């Protein structure tokens, strides 16, 4: 049994060869219902199986095999093949989630606000630290705490931000290569061309919403977010928004929009 501090310093997660035990949250039962749909009705093996709540009141899900990496991303995760596999996995997941929307009651509790229109079940944090890999290829998705319905674009732009990455802590990659990697991610996902012009503006809005969420959660007394703010996370996201604002036109030009 491995007890590990989560990469972002949240509560302890217990990882056993079969299961992962995570702190329960207000949305856990709604997430587990969705995971049950995906793994039982749709027979999907690339998301964890939900296993209910244990005697200590923690969430239990099945362990997905593979390596999980955080920033700075290792070279193994910087290949074109990685980008393709991550974008394709997200696409497959989105497509398989569509039919679940009709099973929603509207009374579900989610961590984030729903982004309209409801096109897919957004993972909302499809980042290397929440994706299992084998030989540098994305194979599984974990940590569905941020799940909620929303638009494909909303999920795709944040995923691209994390995998390209435009996330500023990872600075190994120069501007032109980032643009090529972004284009590659969007193509591998199969994002409709009509959405390309909105990619950067949507990403800036996504990061702004994240900042507001961190501020309001910290104000409600949530320690994780208070710690994140103390560690300067908001300034980092603001710097990323500024970077995207300054480079929006050149990025759009490089990905073939203008």
Ligand X SMILES: Nc1ncnc2c1ncn2[C@@H]1O[C@H](COP(=O)(O)OP(=O)(O)OP(=O)(O)O)[C@@H](O)[C@H]1O
Stretch that binds ligand X, among 52-60, 61-69, 154-162, 176-184 (CB under 6 A): 61-69
If one asks whether residue 24 binds ligand X (CB under 6 A), the answer comes out as no
String of DSSP letters for the chain: -EEE--TTS-S-EEE-SSEEEE---TTHHHHHHHHHIIIIIS---SSPPEEEE-TTS-EEEEPPPSB---SSPPGGGSSHHHHHHHHHHHHHHHHHHGGGGGG--S----SSPPPSS--EEE-S--SGGGEEEETTEEEEE---TT-EEE-HHHHHHHHHHHHTT--TT---S-HHHHHHHHHHHHHHHT--GGGGGGHHHHHHHHHHHHHHHHHHHHHTT-HHHHHHHHTTHHHHHHHHHHHHHHHHHHHHHHTT--
The interface partner of residue 68, options being Mg ion, ligand X, none and the CB cut-off 5 to 8 Å by kind, is ligand X
If one asks whether residue 64 binds ligand X (CB under 6 A), the answer comes out as yes
Task: Give the C-alpha distances (Å, rounded to integers) separating 173 from 15, 168, 169.
Answer: 32, 10, 11
The interface partner of residue 177, options being Mg ion, ligand X, none and the CB cut-off 5 to 8 Å by kind, is none
Residue 144 CB, shortest distance to Mg ion, in Å, is 9
Torsions phi, psi of 200, nearest 5? -75, -40
Among 24, 36, 68, 114, binds ligand X (CB under 6 A): 68
Q: Which residues pair with 120 in a beta bridge?
A: 150
> Measured from the CB atom, is 51 or 247 closer to Mg ion?
51
Residue 126 CB, shortest distance to Mg ion, in Å, is 11
Among 35, 60, 61, 137, binds ligand X (CB under 6 A): 61
Nearest-CB residue for Mg ion: 143
- Site pattern 114..133 for ligand X (x: CB under 6 A): ---------------xx-x-
The interface partner of residue 64, options being Mg ion, ligand X, none and the CB cut-off 5 to 8 Å by kind, is ligand X
If one asks whether residue 164 binds ligand X (CB under 6 A), the answer comes out as no
For residues 46 and 89, the answer to whether their CB atoms sit within 8 Å is yes
Residue 194 CB, shortest distance to Mg ion, in Å, is 32
If one asks whether residue 59 binds Mg ion (CB under 5 A), the answer comes out as no
Q: Nearest to residue 136, comparing CAs of 60, 64, 186, 84?
A: 84
Stretch that binds Mg ion, among 79-87, 143-151, 196-204, 227-235 (CB under 5 A): 143-151
Among 15, 24, 104, 209, binds ligand X (CB under 6 A): 15
> Measured from the CB atom, is 10 or 247 closer to ligand X?
10
Residue 73 CB, shortest distance to ligand X, in Å, is 14
Q: Which residues of the chain form contacts with ligand X (CB under 6 A)?
A: 4, 6-8, 10, 13, 15, 20, 22, 48, 61, 63-64, 68, 129-130, 132, 142-143
Q: Which residues of the chain form contacts with Mg ion (CB under 5 A)?
A: 130, 143
């Amino acid at each position: 049994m491995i007890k590990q501090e989560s990469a972002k310093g949240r509560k302890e997660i217990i990882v056993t060869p079969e299961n992962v035990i995570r702190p329960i949250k207000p949305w856990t039962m709604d997430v587990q219902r969705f995971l049950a749909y995906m793994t039982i009705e749709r027979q999907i093996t690339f998301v964890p199986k939900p296993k209910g709540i244990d005697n200590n009141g923690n969430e239990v899900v099945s362990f997905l095999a593979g390596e999980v990496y955080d920033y700075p991303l290792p070279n193994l995760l910087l290949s074109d093949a990685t980008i393709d596999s991550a974008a394709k996995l997200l696409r497959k997941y989105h497509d398989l989630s569509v039919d679940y929307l009709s099973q929603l009651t509207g009374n579900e509790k989610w961590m984030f606000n729903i982004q309209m229109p409801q096109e897919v079940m957004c993972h909302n944090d499809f980042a290397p630290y929440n994706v299992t890999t084998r030989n540098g290829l994305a194979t599984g998705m974990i940590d569905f705490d941020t799940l909620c319905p929303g638009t494909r674009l909303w999920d795709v732009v944040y995923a691209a931000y994390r995998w390209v990455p435009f996330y500023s802590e990872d600075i190994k990659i120069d501007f032109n290569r980032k643009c090529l990697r972004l284009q590659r991610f969007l193509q591998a996902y199969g994002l409709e061309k009509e959405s390309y012009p909105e990619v950067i503006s949507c990403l800036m809005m996504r990061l702004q919403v994240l900042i507001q969420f961190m501020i309001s959660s910290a104000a409600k007394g949530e320690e994780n977010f208070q710690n994140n703010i103390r560690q300067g996370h908001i300034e980092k996201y603001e710097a990323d928004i500024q970077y995207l604002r300054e480079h929006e036109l050149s990025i759009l030009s490089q990905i073939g929009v203008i």
